[in-house]
Amino acid sequence: MDLVEHIDKVEKPYKNSVITIGNFDGVHIGHQALFHEVIEKADAIDGTSIVMTFEPHPVRVLKQNDHPPLITLYEQKVELIEISGIDVLICIPFTLEFAAISAKEFVEDILLTRIGMKAIVVGEDYTFGKNRKGNIKLLQKYAKTLGFEVIVADWIQTLNKNHDRISSTRTRKLVMAGRVAEAQKLLGRHYQIRGVVTTGRNRGGRLLGFPTANIILHDELCPKTGVYAVSVELGSKTHKGVANIGYSPTFGDQVFSVEVHILDFNENIYDRKIRVNFIQRIRDEKKFSNISELSEQIKKDIVKARKILS
C-alpha cells in the first residue's frame, strides 16, 4: 500500500481510481466492508483502490476540547487499512483551511482533477465540504454532470435482535464498559492497546509472586478498570496473559496503571514496545484485606485466563 500524507504529494491522477472517504476510527467491520467494495469495484474497472482519511480527526480541529478518545491512533489505523488490501491511503492534514473548502471544490478540484476519481463508495449518511453541506443527493447530482459513479453501501448490522448498525461510537462505549468480547464482534479483531514497558512499583514479583509488565500507554481509549484475559504481542511472538487495569486499591496509593502478567514467561522486557489484545473481562478490581488474599485471587484469575485462552 502506498501512503500519501498530503494531497499536494499526489503527483498525477490515479488510474480509474475508486475511493472511499472517512475518519475510520476503529477500522471496524463496517469500515472494512466499505474497503472491500472499493477493492471489488477497482478490480472490475482495472483501477486503483483508494482510502482517504484525515489527521488529526476533524472533530479535534472543529470542536477542540469536546471530543471522545480515539479507538485507533494514526499508526494502527494505517496498519489496519493496509491489511485490508487497499492500494493507496491518502491522509489529509485536517485544518480549518481545509474545512473551509466547499463541497463543489472538494469534488471537482481534489477528487476528480487531482485524484482522478471514477467511482466513490460511501455510507448512507456521508457528508462533506464546508459546514458538511455536501450529502449523498448532492454527490449523485455531481455524478450525473461530472461523470463518475456513486456507490452507496449498506450499513452492516450486528447479529442481534435490535439490528443496530456498527459504529465507532458503539465500539467505543463497549470498550469503555469493559465489554471487550462484544467489541470484538464489531471490530473483527480484539481491542488492542499499545505502549512501552516501564519500571513499576516492584510489587508484582517481589510481594505477590507474579511479575508484571507495567505499560506506559500510547492509546487514548482504555477498557474499564478490572482484570482481563489477554494476549500479548512482543515482536513476532504472541503470549497469553492476565492484565489488571486500575488503581491497586489493596495498596491504597490510587495511582492508575496498566499491568500485564505474561504466563509462562521470564524475560527482561523493560523499554520494549508491547501490544495487548483484550480477549475477555474476568472481574472488577477489588480491595483485599491483605497481600496474601490478593495473591490467592491472582492465582484464580490466572486459572480463569488459561481456560478462556485455551
Are 78 and 40 in contact by the 8 Å Cβ rule? The answer is: no
How many H helices and E strands in the chain? 9, 12
Looking at the predicted structure, is the pLDDT value of residue 203 above 80? no
- Does residue 158 lie within any of the structural domains? no
Q: Is the dihedral of CA 195, 196, 199, 205 positive or negative?
A: positive
Q: State residue 205's pLDDT score.
A: 47
CB neighbours of 234 closer than 8 A, spacing ≥ 6? 269, 272, 274
Both 256 and 130 in one domain: the answer is no
- Does residue 134 lie within any of the structural domains? yes
Both 19 and 104 in one domain: the answer is yes
- Which H or E element spans position 4? strand 2-4
Query: Strand locations in 207-308, DSSP E?
Result: 213-217, 226-234, 237-246, 257-262, 273-283
Are 54 and 14 in contact by the 8 Å Cβ rule? The answer is: no
CATH number, domain of 72, equals: 3.40.50.620
Average pLDDT of every residue of the chain: 92
Both 110 and 235 in one domain: the answer is no
- Does residue 169 lie within any of the structural domains? no
Looking at the predicted structure, is the pLDDT value of residue 41 above 60? yes
Q: pLDDT tens-digit profile of 134-152?
A: 999 999 999 999 999 999 9
- Does residue 47 lie within any of the structural domains? yes
Q: pLDDT tens-digit profile of 237-290?
A: 999 999 999 987 776 667 899 999 999 998 999 999 999 999 999 999 998 888
| Cα angle for residues 118, 123, 127 (degrees, 5° grid) | 85
The number of domains in the chain is: 2
Both 26 and 75 in one domain: the answer is yes
Interior/surface letters 138-156, b for 16+ CB within 10 angstroms, e for the rest: bbeebbeeeebebeebeeb
Q: How far apart, in whole angstroms, are the C-alpha atoms of residue 297 and residue 294?
A: 5
- Does residue 104 lie within any of the structural domains? yes
Q: How many CA within 13 A on the CB side of residue 58?
A: 19
pTM: 0.92
CATH number, domain of 210, equals: 2.40.30.30
Domain that holds residue 63: 2-153
